[in-house]
Structure 1
Amino acid sequence: MVEPRQWIEGYVRAWNSNAPDDIAALFTEGAVYYTEPYSAPWQGRDEIVAKWLERRDKPGEATFEWHPVNVADDVSVIQGVTTYQDKTYSNLWVIRFAPDGRCREFTEWWMRHDAK
């Protein structure tokens, strides 16, 4: 069974560094990354890195808190909250792992909290 903590810590590190090597280290060569329902996924590690960098946040711009909803042999479902200075998002991640602990399929769904 792959424990998601190390992978998520790597994801947050890549999120804050925007270093291509940090991003690439998370994913298998043929990984797919679904960014939202009904959209075509990013396919392959090179495209994932390129698309990530097109949408990158500034280092330290957001905080991310998370907890596992379900952890099985090669898949984890994670619920999180991403907080920026002016907005907050709820996140649901489905991470499908390769045997080496890298991600082979990643799905992230996020919803912005209503402004008050």
Structure 2
Amino acid sequence: MVQPHPWIEGYVRAWNSNDPDDIAALFTEDAVYYTEPYSSPWQGRDDIVREWLGRQDKPGEATFEWHPVSVTEDVSVIQGVTTYPDKTYSNLWVIRFAPDGRCREFTEWWMRHDAR
């Protein structure tokens, strides 16, 4: 069984470095990235890098805990929790992989936790 952890580790590294090369290494040239399931995606690696950097977090600002829900060679579903100093989100990621292990399609569902 293929494990998603190398790609997730690369994603978290890119999230914390905001290095365009770290981000680009995750995605195929023609990848699509849906920041919400039914929104228009970021299309192509260059657009993904540009949009990511336009919305970047400060390095170390958030923590991310995750576990796999389903893992195959072609697709992984990851459930996670992203915690910032002032807010927390539940995440569900669907990651579709190219044969070389890079992502060809990324879709995220996220929900902010109620601040009670």
Tell me whether the two structures share a fold, i.e. TM-score over 0.5.
yes
The letter of the residue matching 1:31 is A
Q: Secondary structure at the match of 1:114?
A: coil
* Cα distance in 1 for residues equivalent to 2:113 and 2:103: 28
Report the number of matched residues.
116
Report what 2:64 is aligned to: 64
Correspondence for 1:103: 103
The Cα shift of 1:38 comes to: 2.2
Corresponding position of 2:6: 6
- TM-score when normalising by structure 2: 0.97
The answer to whether the Cα contact below 8 Å between 1:2 and 1:99 also exists between their aligned partners in 2 is no
Tell me the equivalent position of 1:49.
49
1:37 CA displacement: 2.6
Query: Structure 1: how far apart are the matches of 2:27 and 2:37?
Result: 20
What is the distance in 1 between the residues matched to 2:26 and 2:111? 24
1:72 is displaced (CA, Å) by: 1.4
Q: Which residue of 2 aligns with 1:89?
A: 89
**Residue 103 of structure 1: how far off its partner (Å):** 0.2
**DSSP 3-state at the match of 1:21:** helix
In structure 2, the residue corresponding to 1:89 is in which secondary structure?
Answer: strand
What one-letter code is carried by the residue in structure 1 that aligns with 2:37?
Answer: P
Q: 1:2–1:97: 8 Å Cα contact kept in structure 2?
A: no
Percent pairwise identity:
86
Give yes or no for contact 1:36–1:109 (8 Å, CA) kept in 2. Answer: yes
Would you identify which runs of 4 or more consecutive aligned residues in structure 1 move more than 2 Å? none
Q: CA deviation at 1:59?
A: 0.1
Give the RMSD, CA atoms, in angstroms: 0.8
The 5 A counterparts of 1:28-47 are: 28-47=28-47
